[in-house]
Amino acid sequence: MVSFRFPFLFSQPPRPPLSATADISSRSFSATTAAVSVAAALSFAGAGVALSQNSDNPFLQRALNFFASNRNGFTPMWGSLSLSENWSPVTESRTGTSFPAVLKDSKRLLGIGLRRKAVLGLKNIDVYAYGVYADDSDVKKFLSDKNGDLSDDLMESDVSMTIRLQIVYGRLSIRSVRSAFQESVGSRLNKFGGGSDNKELLQRFTSQFKDEYKIPKGSIIDLCRERGYVLRTMIDGEEVGSIQSKVLCRSILDLYIGNESFDPKAKEDVQLNLASLLGK
């Protein structure tokens, strides 16, 4: 199986200053940290050279500019990601939720985000963390002829993808999930012109979240767009339904990596990781 270089880059919050004690305890890691930093810098430079050599393509140049302008806000996790290799999970820093680097041997993690919800307009609660995955071979084909916005094109494409939701709010009910999707997915269906079938399509989707399902903290909901624009929904590994609809798939993905997504950092992660692959 082919192995290729793939940089994971995920947005990170600013780190507070280290105390004197923490500074002393961290010195034993200084050599390793320096080595990783040098490797990351060299890898970034290599990607920049590859993109610069294609500067006659305006899209590639825009990707390079995006990559360079965001590098100070992202932490690269470089490595050769053969699908047969065992890779460490990536952690959503605000909740401590970890996501596997690869799902089902073929889908790579492109970005992570956090869904927050205001309660009575007074307090934001962390509802779930989410990871955005895309099929390895589909992504390579998708990037072969790109001339527009990466995340928008990705949502419109037939690339196999999974949005993994990991529940972090311990008092979340399936009824609340159903209600939230009725509002958020319903607005996206109207936005993307689902037409007169919007109401029925929304009902078919939300009815999958039946009251019998329990979703305590740590539960996983997978929203999988399969080839042919089939949206397959799974709760803790159990399939609860599937619907063939391009506009529904587009609406779901827009919640997580669209221009008005739940967490803009997830969209930035996806954009940056896709841009970094253009020079590969």
Measuring CA to CA, which residue among 240, 184, 185 is closest to residue 207? 240
Angle at 90 between CA 279 and CA 140, to 5 degrees: 30
Closest listed residue to residue 180, CA positions, set 116, 129, 239, 237: 116
- Matching residue, tokens 């929203």: 223
User: Could you report the per-residue pLDDT of 233-251, keeping only the tens digit for each?
Assistant: 999 999 999 999 999 999 9
Please check the confidence at residue 226 and state whether its pLDDT lies above 80.
Answer: yes
First to last CA, the chain: 17
Q: Which residue has the higher pLDDT, 166 or 122?
A: 166
pLDDT of residue 107: 95
User: Higher-confidence residue: 180 or 123?
Assistant: 180
Report whether 224 contacts 130 (CB < 8 A).
no
Q: Examine the pLDDT at 154 and tell me if it is beyond 70.
A: yes
Highest mean pLDDT among 141-150, 187-196, 266-275: 266-275
pLDDT band at 279 (very low <50, low <70, confident <90, very high): low
Does position 278 have pLDDT exceeding 80, yes or no?
no
Q: DSSP code of 54?
A: T
User: In the structure, what pLDDT confidence band is assigned to residue 194 with cuts at 50, 70 and 90?
Assistant: low
Find out whether 48 and 63 touch, Cβ atoms under 8 Å.
Answer: no
Least confident of 84-93, 108-117, 179-188: 84-93
Could you give the percent of the chain with pLDDT greater than 90? 57
Segment 20-64, tens digit of pLDDT = 444 434 333 333 333 333 334 334 444 443 434 444 544 445 545
With a cut of 80, say whether residue 258 has pLDDT above it.
Answer: yes
**Mean residue pLDDT across the chain:** 77
Radius of gyration of the chain (CA): 20
Interacting residues of 95 by C-beta distance below 8 A, sequence separation 6+? 114, 126, 129, 168
Q: Where residue 190 falls among pLDDT bands split at 50, 70, 90?
A: very high
Query: Is the CB of residue 120 less than 8 Å from the CB of residue 258?
Result: no
pLDDT at 83: 41
Token pair for residue 31?
């050599």
